[in-house]
Amino acid sequence: MTETFDHLFGGYYKAKARRWRNPDGSTGGIVGVDATIDSTLTIPTDAVVWPRASIAPRASIGPRASIGPRASIGDGDWWLSGGPCGSRNAFWTAVWSNAHGLRWWIGCQHGISTSQLRERIKADHGDNDHAQDYGAVIAFVESHPGLTRVQAKVKGAP
């Protein structure tokens, strides 16, 4: 394990972090000290994994990815992250699993369904610019071809 340091995740959340050591010995991205990550994963140098995120085997983490706090990505799950978005400029992570469907980690919302996210957006923002931004993110994720492929693969499984 590499030395720990204070890191400002998303520009607002200060927590202990470390540089990930990839299986080939190269230096990886910034990882929250209390994130749970399979040791076989390669994390690009410009990727960030927030505290309390959990990433299992065979996940593929792309450059500049930001895995949100408490996000849980398991074997065979599809996920996408982005940001900043909304009134707090929060990063978001959407994870689809066969067991739980599509779940969201955004700001202080952890593992909520799309319908719960829509309800909270409406309650907190009505129809303002932030609500429209969140709505665009939901539409983007729900129409993403990668999500469509993984859902079709599961439906077509014997």
Q: What is the pLDDT along the chain (158 residues), one digit of tens a residue?
A: 569 999 998 778 899 999 999 999 999 999 999 999 999 999 999 889 989 888 888 777 777 777 777 777 887 889 898 888 888 888 888 999 988 899 998 877 888 999 999 999 999 999 999 999 999 999 999 999 999 998 988 776 55
pLDDT computed for residue 1 by the predictor? 52
Residue 101 belongs to domain spanning: 4-155
Q: Which two tokens stand for residue 55?
A: 């990433």
- Which pLDDT belongs to residue 104? 93
What is the predicted pLDDT for the residue at 21? 95
Distance CA 92, CA 106 (A): 4
Within 10 angstroms of residue 28's Cβ, the number of other Cβ atoms is 23
**Count of domains in the chain?**
1
- Cβ atoms of residues 23 and 30 within 8 Å: no
The pLDDT of residue 154:
79
Asked if residue 135 lies in contact with residue 104, where contact means CB atoms within 8 angstroms, the answer is no
